[in-house]
Amino acid sequence: MYVLSFLFGKGHEADERTDEATDETEEKDIFASAVLSVLPMTAVSVINYLRGGTGLPENIESYIVPAFFGGIAGAFLLEKISSKWLKKIFSLLVIWAGVSLILKETGIM
C-alpha cells in the first residue's frame, strides 16, 4: 500500500485519512459504550443514597426533564462533532470546574 502511495503521491494521505475516519468512528463507539457501562453504576449509587436516607430533592423534575431531552440531543450531536474537539472542549470545562471547586472549598475564591 505504501509503495503504491509513494508511486501515486497523494494516495498515502488518502489512506491515512481513511485510518483517521475509522479511529474517529471507533472513538465514538467507545463514548457510546461508556454511557451504557456507567448506567448500572449510577443506578446502584442512587438506590444506595435513597436507602441511606438522603431525601429526594423537591425540585428534581427541573433537572430530570431537560436531562432526558439533552441526552437525546447529545447522542445525535455525537454523530456531527469531531471527537478531537469534543475532548478538548470537555477537558477545558472539567479543568475549570475542578479548579473552581478546590478554590471555593479552600476559601480562596
Partner 1 sequence: MDLYEIIKIAAAFFTAALSGMGVGGGGLLLIYLTLFANETQKTAQLINLMFFLAASSSSLIVHVSRRKLSFKVILLLALGGALGAFFGSETAKTADDGILRIILGGFLTLSGVISLFGKGKRKGDGDKTK
Q: Considering only residues 59 through 88, tell me which ones interact with partner 1, judged by CB under 8 A.
A: 59-60, 62-79, 81, 86-88
Query: Which member of 7, 9, 10, 41 binds partner 1 (CB under 8 A)?
Result: 41
Binding status of residue 5 toward partner 1 by CB under 8 A: no
CB of 26 to partner 1, least distance (A): 7
Q: Considering only residues 7 through 36, tell me which ones interact with partner 1, judged by CB under 8 A.
A: 19, 22-23, 26, 28-36
Q: Are 24 and 83 in contact (CB under 8 A)?
A: yes
Half-sphere exposure of 42 (CA within 13 A, CB side): 6
Collapse the DSSP code of 1 into the 3-class scheme (helix H, G, I; strand E, B; otherwise coil) and give the result.
Answer: coil
